[in-house]
Amino acid sequence: MARDLPANDGETVGAQGQIRKVEFVRIIVQALFALGYHQAGATLEEESGIRLQSPVVTKFREDVLAGRWDESVATLAKLGISEEEILKSASFLILQQKFVESLESGDTIGGLKTLRTEITPLGINIRRVHQLASFTLCSSSEVLLESVEWEGAGQDYRQRVLEELQQLLPPSIMVPEKRLEHLVEQALEVQRESCLFHISADHALSLYTDHRCTRKQRRPCK
Piece of 100-108, 120-128, 145-153, 198-206 that binds Zn ion (CB under 5 A): 198-206
Nearer Cβ to Zn ion, position 127 or 215? Answer: 215
Pairing of strands 12-13, 19-20: antiparallel
Note whether 198 binds Zn ion by CB under 5 A. yes
What does each C-alpha distance from 32 to 9, 20, 27, 29, 41 come to in angstroms? 24, 19, 9, 5, 5
Note whether 221 binds Zn ion by CB under 5 A. yes
Nearer Cβ to Zn ion, position 148 or 195? Answer: 195
Q: Which of 64, 145, 195, 205 touches Zn ion (CB under 5 A)? A: 195
- Three-state SS across 74-133? HHHCCCCCCCHHHHHHHHHHHHHHHHHHHHHCCCHHHHHHHHHHHHHHHCCCHHHHHHHH
Piece of 13-21, 84-92, 146-154, 207-215 that binds Zn ion (CB under 5 A): 207-215
Note whether 213 binds Zn ion by CB under 5 A. yes
Nearer Cβ to Zn ion, position 84 or 193? Answer: 193
Site for Zn ion in 63-92 (CB under 5 A): none
Q: CA nearest 73: which of 59, 85, 91, 55?
A: 91
Q: Which residues are near Zn ion by CB under 5 A?
A: 195, 198, 213, 221
